[in-house]
Amino acid sequence: MDKNTTRPILPFTFTYTAQLAAMLKKLKFSIAITTYQAGKVIFISPLDDITFTSLPRSFSKPMGMDIVGDKLVIATKDEVILFENSKDLAKHYPAKQNTYDTLYIPRITFYTGNVDMHDIAFGTDGIWAINTSFSCLCKVNGNFNFVPVWKPPFISALVSEDRCHLNGLVLKEGKPKYVTGLGQTDTAKGWKDQIVTGGFLMDIETNECLLENLPMPHSPLLYKGDLYLLLSASSELIKVNVQSKTYEVIIKLDGFCRGLDIQNDLVIIGVSKIRKSSSTFEKLSFSETIDFAGLKFFHLPTKSKNSVIECEFFFSSIIVTVSNNSGCL
């Protein structure tokens, strides 16, 4: 309880731009986010044209997340959890009958150990994940903690040393295509020495480095055939020209950006406050000035950026789900 009031402290609160609920309601969008700092997966859904409902659920260090059809997968501290949607049970959610149209129920838990999974995705042949601790791309199938499939050519051994901080994954036609990382180094946490300038984007089919010297690339994404990603250390959304190995800045933000989705030309980006106690983040140019944490919404063709949801979490992943009412775990 708050000493100054008789009301309980809510586990999750946020403020938002007035017209945002109406826009998402019209688009039939719900938003699912992970925040490893608070240990939450949160569904945010418009109830009507002016209000939202939010459902936070606790997990141990949730990071990567993907939704395909009725399946949801979440990478946590030492497990990968597979959920299945039950629309029939959603209607009978306890104490909230006929409120939700989506209810994700846990069906399978894969025990991976503490390998610091980041991005995770459903492919045509199973679950793919970025294994940051072992600097590799792996499959999760339950036969082993993980099955390593690919590692950057500059990584000499599969050891739990987080040698390049591999973090982002893009699938193309159901197969892994691009990855991002924070440094082309082959020593334990060697990437930290070049954290602001050593990032890379790589094509795993050709082992070709498409972009180098990037300021902390995160959250790569294919949308309408174009490749987008976030540069967290420079607070930018960029679009990559794969053929010319160049990029253009689409949107300049204020703050540490991580977590990206684009649907119907609506761009949603997670922006986090900096942990000033961290030696990693104190190197960023905006570490002393940023006071916003939340989600920012942009119209991609016009770059209009008037809508926000403000909250206090450090984001990992963001997914927009199509839902008539709202989703829950």
Report whether pLDDT(153) > 80. yes
Q: CA 5, CA 2: separation in Å to the nearest integer?
A: 5
pLDDT, averaged across the chain: 87
Please check whether residue 51 lies inside any domain of the structure.
yes
Report whether pLDDT(58) > 70. yes
Please check whether residue 21 lies inside any domain of the structure.
yes
Of residues 113 and 283, more confidence is placed in: 113
pTM score of the predicted model: 0.90
Please check whether residue 318 lies inside any domain of the structure.
yes
Please check whether residue 6 lies inside any domain of the structure.
no
Please check whether residue 3 lies inside any domain of the structure.
no
For residue 75, the enclosing domain spans 15-328
DSSP string covering 279-328, please? TTGGGSTTTTT----EEEEEETTTTEEEEEEE------EEEEEE-SS-EE
DSSP string covering 177-245, please? EEEEES----STTGGGGGTTT-EEEEETTTTEEEEEEESSEEEEEEETTEEEEEETTTTEEEEEETTTT
Report whether pLDDT(251) > 80. yes
Please check whether residue 171 lies inside any domain of the structure.
yes
CATH number, domain of 125, equals 2.120.10.80
Tell me what percent of the chain is helix, strand and coil, each rounded to the nearest 5.
5, 50, 45
Report whether pLDDT(284) > 70. no
The total of structural domains in the chain comes to 1
Q: What is the layout of strands, in order, in the sheet containing 304-310?
A: 15-16, 304-310, 294-299, 266-272, 256-263
Report whether pLDDT(186) > 70. yes
Query: What's residue 100's pLDDT?
Result: 80
Query: What's residue 292's pLDDT?
Result: 72
pLDDT digit string, tens, across residues 294-329: 888 989 998 776 667 766 556 667 776 654 445 566
Q: CA 60, CA 35: separation in Å to the nearest integer?
A: 10
Please check whether residue 2 lies inside any domain of the structure.
no
Please check whether residue 82 lies inside any domain of the structure.
yes
